[in-house]
Amino acid sequence: MATSSLTIDLDAIAANWRALDRLSAPEVQTAAVVKADAYGLGAGKVARALAWAGARRFFVAAAEEGAAVRQALGPGPQINILSGHMAGDTEMLNDLELTPMLNSLEQITRHLEALPGHPFGVQLDSGMNRLGVEPVEWQAVAPIIIEAGPVMLMSHLACADEPDHPMNQAQLEAFHEMTDGTGLPRSFAATGGILLGPKYHFDLTRAGIGLYGGRPFEMAERVVTLSLPVIQTRDVMPGEVVGYAASWEPEMPSVIATVAAGYADGLPRRLSNNAVLWDGDTPCPLIGRVSMDLITVDVTHLKEIPKSLDILGQHQSVDDLADAAGTIGYEILTGLGKRYSRRYLETRG
Q: Which of 35, 212, 263, 330 is catalytic?
A: 35
**Amino acid type, 9:** D
Q: How far apart are the first and last CA of the chain?
A: 30
Report how far apart, in Å, the C-alpha atoms of 146 and of each of 121, 139, 319 are: 10, 11, 41
Chain centroid to CA 206: how far? 12
Coil, helix or strand at residue 147: helix
**CA–CA dist 167, 179 (Å, integer):** 18
What is the H or E stretch that residue 176 is in? helix 166-179
The two most distant CA atoms of the chain are separated, in Å, by 76
114 Cβ neighbours under 8 A, 6+ residues apart: 85, 90
Is 244 an annotated catalytic residue?
Answer: yes
CB 206 within 8 A of CB 192: no
Chain centroid to CA 252: how far? 42
Nearest to 80 by CA among 179, 196, 185: 185
The residues that bridge with 348 in the sheet, in sequence order, are none
Question: What are the DSSP calls for 251-283, one per residue?
Answer: SS-EEEEEEE--GGGT--GGGTTSEEEEETTEE
Is 35 an annotated catalytic residue?
Answer: yes
For the chain, what percentages of helix, strand and coil (3-state, to nearest 5) are there?
35, 25, 40
Q: Which of 45, 199, 212, 244 is catalytic?
A: 244
CB 302 within 8 A of CB 279: yes
**CA–CA dist 138, 69 (Å, integer):** 30
Taken as a whole, the chain contains a residue count of 349
**CA–CA dist 287, 252 (Å, integer):** 14
Query: What residues act catalytically?
Result: 35, 244
